[in-house]
Structure 1
């Protein structure tokens, strides 16, 4: 399966350290060699990079690793293909506009034989992941309200996620640039770094960073991944069915919503 990485921070922050660790798993220390992508929010805009090749050997990924693009929300994905061809159209994260914002989606897992109901949003590629994203947005567009409180939107996302999870493995990252929604059925972990900061070393690359030298005492930066990227820090492991809403580096809502048996979407 694929691997996910996301960041939520209270100040524009670069993802170079974590992204470097993730890209090593894309064809070097891991089997996820079928494409990679990353999306950085900059206000309401999104700076995105995609490539249908192994991230460990990518010159474009190398540029992203070394160029400090600062963002409060970022979503990354490295792909091990199981549904759909290896091509640019099937490379996560996917992006669409809804209610005047860009929504970015990345998925780890597989829903065998999933078919999205007809709607406004249609998949460009042939992955179950993009079909899921379009289906989810069609439900939001039909049943949600652009002026609704965030809690109402999250309630709908939780119900939809539990329904999708009843059909297979559904580990999700989703953002509209203001907040980041995460849902876990099998594997997900997070870490929140805040003062006092210390050093950390990547598992997959000979890279160490001293966060105290790179941050201010007011910074809060959270990283959400499929598998922990460092061995010398304590990561918080999600439970199956756990969801969290992140904003400015903090969890602002969370709960448990196990897969809903027989849920009809």
Structure 2
């Protein structure tokens, strides 16, 4: 299963601490070595780095671990390929322009027989189920709102409406951002926490690194971190409920909705129907 890392902040913040632990899972503490990517928003645009090398071996990942790029919204991904070749065009996160903003999407999961009808405005470059899902989400946003950029709450409502149907095809965990906020959805594994004043030390799980955030922050700072598996061993992480959509803005959880995924209900009533995808096995 691929792994996701997202960060949403009240003030521009670097992700070097979290990414240092996260990237260890690309070949040292786990085997998610089929490419990596990370996107840093700066207002409407973003810096996007992707590589089909693992985040352990990639010189680009080494740059990210040591260069404190500050951003209010960051999405990172380490890949364990289930669909599509191991190449650059299949490396997450994916990026598209909509309403004069860059939209960034990364997916953890495996969607079976998922070939949605697309309008042609947003077309996959690679051949992953993930990029097809991203193009479909953007298509639906345009179909609903046309050329007028909606409010974040309207985007949230539409994502919560259409994501369960995609999840009928398999595991569908994702992070999505347009630079204003971060939308996250989970069917299986996602966790989150918020670091805020008074800050405390944090110890990474995957590497022996500790940071005392009280020494490097201000009372105005607040950071929400979203990840597939918890990154630190001395902080309290909250697991997403299956089918939960959460909107993070200014470093805080501002909205949450538990969506109804019919497949999950069928599997709860009859465990023999449970579909275990390749993504769930990694």
What band does the TM-score fall into relative to the shorter chain? Answer: over 0.9
- Given that 1:116 and 1:134 are in contact with CA atoms closer than 8 Å, whether structure 2 keeps it comes out as no
- Given that 1:192 and 1:249 are in contact with CA atoms closer than 8 Å, whether structure 2 keeps it comes out as yes
TM-aligned CA deviation for residue 101 of structure 1? 0.7
Give matches, 1:126-165, under 5 Å.
Answer: 126-145=127-146, 146-165=148-167
- Given that 1:170 and 1:185 are in contact with CA atoms closer than 8 Å, whether structure 2 keeps it comes out as yes
CA distance in 2, matches of 1:15, 1:58: 17
CA distance in 2, matches of 1:258, 1:56: 38
The answer to whether the aligner puts 1:177 opposite 2:160 as a matched pair is: no
Give matches, 1:24-43, under 5 Å.
Answer: 24-43=24-43
The runs of 5 or more residues in structure 1 that have no matched partner are: none
Tell which deviates more after alignment, 117-126 or 3-12.
117-126
1:4-39, Cα deviation, whole Å (9 max, x unpaired): 000000000000000011100011111100000000
CA distance in 2, matches of 1:153, 1:207: 38
CA distance in 1, matches of 2:152, 2:70: 25
Quick one: structure 1 residues 149 and 127, their matched pair in 2 at CA, closer, same or farther if it must change by over 3 Å?
Answer: same
Tell me the matched-pair count.
262
* Structure-1-length-normalised TM-score: 0.96
Give matches, 1:22-171, under 5 Å.
Answer: 22-119=22-119, 120-145=121-146, 146-171=148-173
Give the match's secondary structure for 1:224.
strand
The runs of 5 or more residues in structure 2 that have no matched partner are: 264-282
CA distance in 2, matches of 1:39, 1:260: 33
Give the match's secondary structure for 1:245.
strand
The residue number in structure 1 matching 2:270 is: none
Q: CA RMSD in A?
A: 1.3
Displaced runs of 4 or more, over 6 A: none
- Given that 2:196 and 2:222 are in contact with CA atoms closer than 8 Å, whether structure 1 keeps it comes out as yes
TM-aligned CA deviation for residue 144 of structure 1? 2.3
